[in-house]
Structure 1
Amino acid sequence: MAKKTAAASPQLIRIAAPGSADLSKEQKAFNRLTKRIAKLETEVHAFRAAATRLRQRMQAEYRPLQQRHNDERARLVRVLDHAYQQHKLTKTERGKIEDLIAHACADLPGRGHPELQPIIERYAPPPLSEQEEAALDQQTATMMKTLYELQYGIRFDPAADVSTPEKFRDYVQQQLDAEEAEYQRQEAAAAERRARRKKSPKQQAAEEKKKAEAKSVTQAVRTLYLDLVKHLHPDRERDEAEKARKTELLQRVTTAYEAGELLTLLRLQLELNRLDQDHLENLAEAQLRYYNQLLRDQARELEAQLYEEQMELSNFTGRTYYFGAAPAALERDFEQQKSQLEAKIRQLAAEVLAFEHDPRALKAFLKTYKIPKPGPGPLLMPLW
Structure 2
Amino acid sequence: MSLQTQRHLVRIENESLSKSQKEFNRLTQKIEQRSVELNDLRAIYQQIQQRVQADYHPLIDQYGRLQADLVRLFDRAYTHEDITKIERKKLADLIRTMAFDLISVHEIDSLKPIYDKYKTEEFDGGTDGSDEQVPNGKRIGTDPDEEHSEMTYEQELEAAEAERQRQRANKPKSAKQLEREAKKQADVQKTTKAVRTLYMDLVKAFHPDREPDEAEKVRKTEIMHRVIAAYEKSDVLALFRLQLEFERIDQTHLEALAEDQLKYYNKILRQQAQELDDEFLALQKELATITGKATFTASSLVGFEISLNTDIAQLKRDIKQLKSDLKMLANMDILKQWLKSYR
The TM-score with structure 1 as length reference comes to 0.61
Deviation at 1:271, TM superposition (A): 0.2
Which residue, 17, 30, 41 being the options, matches 1:36? 30
Pick closer, same or farther for the CA change 1:236–1:336 going to 2, 3 Å. Answer: same
Deviation at 1:228, TM superposition (A): 1.7
Deviation at 1:34, TM superposition (A): 1.6
Aligned to 2:236: 262
Aligned to 1:286: 260
Percent identical among aligned pairs is: 34
Q: Is the 8 A contact 1:232 1:247 kept in 2?
A: yes
Aligned to 1:62: 56
Aligned to 1:161: 148
Deviation at 1:287, TM superposition (A): 1.7
Write out aligned runs for 1:169-248 (5 A): 174=155, 177-178=158-159, 180-189=161-170, 192-193=171-172, 195=173, 197-199=174-176, 210=184, 212-235=186-209, 237-248=211-222
Deviation at 1:354, TM superposition (A): 6.7
Deviation at 1:36, TM superposition (A): 3.0
Does residue 1:343 correspond to 2:314, yes or no? Answer: yes
Does residue 1:125 correspond to 2:121, yes or no? Answer: yes
Does residue 1:277 correspond to 2:248, yes or no? Answer: no
Equivalent position amino acid for 1:136 in 2: Q
Pick closer, same or farther for the CA change 1:278–1:292 going to 2, 3 Å. Answer: same
Pick closer, same or farther for the CA change 1:176–1:325 going to 2, 3 Å. Answer: farther
Q: Is the 8 A contact 1:256 1:265 kept in 2?
A: yes
Deviations 1:275-294 (A, max 9, x none): 22232233232221111111
Deviation at 1:198, TM superposition (A): 4.4
Aligned to 1:136: 133
Write out aligned runs for 1:16-27 (5 A): 16=13, 22-27=16-21
The TM-score with structure 2 as length reference comes to 0.67
Write out aligned runs for 1:59-98 (5 A): 59-74=53-68, 76-77=70-71, 78=73, 97-98=91-92
Q: Following the alignment from structure 2 to structure 1, what is the Cα–Cα distance between the partners of residues 164 and 6?
A: 47
Deviation at 1:232, TM superposition (A): 1.9
Q: Following the alignment from structure 1 to structure 2, what is the Cα–Cα distance between the partners of residues 214 and 294?
A: 10
Pick closer, same or farther for the CA change 1:182–1:245 going to 2, 3 Å. Answer: same
CA RMSD of aligned residues (A): 5.2
Which ranges in structure 1 are unaligned for 5 or more consecutive residues?
Answer: 1-7, 143-156, 163-167, 370-384
Does residue 1:14 correspond to 2:11, yes or no? Answer: yes
Which ranges in structure 2 are unaligned for 5 or more consecutive residues?
Answer: none
Deviation at 1:94, TM superposition (A): 7.2
Q: Following the alignment from structure 1 to structure 2, what is the Cα–Cα distance between the partners of residues 50 and 133?
A: 56
Q: Is the 8 A contact 1:47 1:309 kept in 2?
A: yes
Number of residue pairs aligned between Structure 1 and Structure 2: 324
